A and B are shown apart, each in its own frame.
Chain A
Amino acid sequence: MKLPESLFSRMLLAYLPFMVYPYGLFKAGVAALWIVAFFWGTVVFFWFTRRLFPGRSLKYAFPLWLIVWAQAVWTLTKLPPYWIASVFFLVPVSFLGDTAKPGHVRVFSRELPRSQYPSIGAERRLGPSKLPFWKRNKKFGRYFFEQVLTGIGFAGFVILLALVREIVGKRLGMQAFEQPAGMLFVAAAVAFLWENQPYRKRSQHLSISENLKLGPSKSPLMKRK
């Protein structure tokens, strides 16, 4: 089961398996483009063939689809199969699940219009849509717009980190940046910038220590009903 993810979480989690590849800038870029193309292809494939899979077999079909493609790509290009984990994290949470909740996509503090399109599993549970064809097409477009955005974001993130690895690790000779530790520190810096975009609302929840400081009466966690 996958947990709901924001756009940044999906990009970061998808980057982590990619970190195992010891590639330079060019090869990393090509591999990232392949992952994005495959991700889009997967979404389109399952979108159009979803009615062919009986019952809950979609949940089994997706991992098997990944294994078969990993084998095919390994045979043709000798690309190790870690990229399937990236695709797994890029795929939206509601893709094959039963939930009808759409993911919310934030880009530079602006929330994009939510796609009201239910997941493949939810659509099956709810029955076929009664909307006219042109309205269904509009929602279909919004759903794919989210996936296109995720793919572009992932490719950009990979290229940025590969560039840092190339410049700081190889040109400036800082060995730490050729290790996962250095890349994780850079990812922390990127995450910091992303999370602290101007005009972005942060969570109002307090930490446990802050709650303890405030005491039982003032703490929002300990409000009595």
Chain B
Amino acid sequence: MYFLIVTFGFLLAMRGANPALLQKPVEGLKCTWRGAVDFFLTASLTLALWAFAATFEKIQAGVREYTILGPGIVVFLLSRYQKKTDLFFLSVLASVFMINSKQPDLLQGILLAWVVSAGIALFQACFLGLRYKLFFSHVPVPMKGWPILCLLAGFISVVLGSFGTLVF
């Protein structure tokens, strides 16, 4: 779960948000947390629908077998309905798959979905704040771009890792 939070937190921070929000950190933070709520609701709804489908005996075998295709189509439709990016769809699908494989119980699954979405939002918020601070600091020219972004992500994941040992 910790790997998932760091990976998709970094990806969503880099390619999920509008780059213009970087210059308006307050708006960026609002968007980040709104995105986290959408993430949580989409993942929870998919988990709930899948758990509901599993209660029907006739389709139980199919539900167990198609653990990617079924939730994948649901997540795809939900993200298209919300006009989200393809990255959002892929992140939610990965989270739902991991939660389903680790925690078949619905309530525990929803709790895990909340933890994952909060973790991703926390990562994005820290990343946004640090990137904003970098605007006003003297970053050496050779370090600009991917090197400094990977370093920032690495430092945030060290901090989240210590929280992660308490949560997971």
Q: Is A192 an interface position by the 8 A CB rule?
A: yes
Interface flags for A64-107 (1: CB within 8 Å of B; 0: not) read 10011011001100001110110010000000000000000000
B interface bracket (residues with beta carbon within 8 Å of A): 35 or more
Do A67 and B147 touch (CB < 8 A)?
Answer: no
What chain A residues lie within 8 Å of B146 (beta carbons)?
Answer: 8-9, 12, 187-188, 191, 194-195
What chain A residues lie within 8 Å of B43 (beta carbons)?
Answer: none
What chain A residues lie within 8 Å of B157 (beta carbons)?
Answer: 179-181, 184
| Main SS at interface, chain B | helix
CB distance from B19 to the nearest CB of A (A): 8
List residues of A (1-55) whose CB comes within 8 Å of B's CBs.
1-3, 8-9, 12-13, 16-17, 19-20, 22
Q: Please tell me the number of chain A residues within 8 Å of chain B, measured between CB atoms.
A: 47
Q: Is A196 an interface position by the 8 A CB rule?
A: yes
Do A19 and B73 touch (CB < 8 A)?
Answer: no
Contact of A67 among B7, B10, B93, B141 (CB under 8 A): B93
Known A-B contacts: A20-B94, A81-B94. Give 5 more (CB < 8 A): A9-B146, A19-B6, A75-B65, A188-B147, A191-B146
A-B contact pairs, 19 of them (CB 8 A): A1-B86, A12-B150, A17-B11, A19-B7, A22-B3, A64-B73, A64-B76, A67-B73, A71-B68, A71-B69, A71-B72, A85-B91, A88-B90, A180-B6, A185-B154, A189-B147, A191-B147, A195-B144, A196-B142
Interface residues of A (CB under 8 A from B): 1-3, 8-9, 12-13, 16-17, 19-20, 22, 60, 63-64, 67-68, 70-71, 74-75, 80-82, 84-85, 88, 176, 179-182, 184-185, 187-189, 191-192, 194-196, 202-203, 207-209
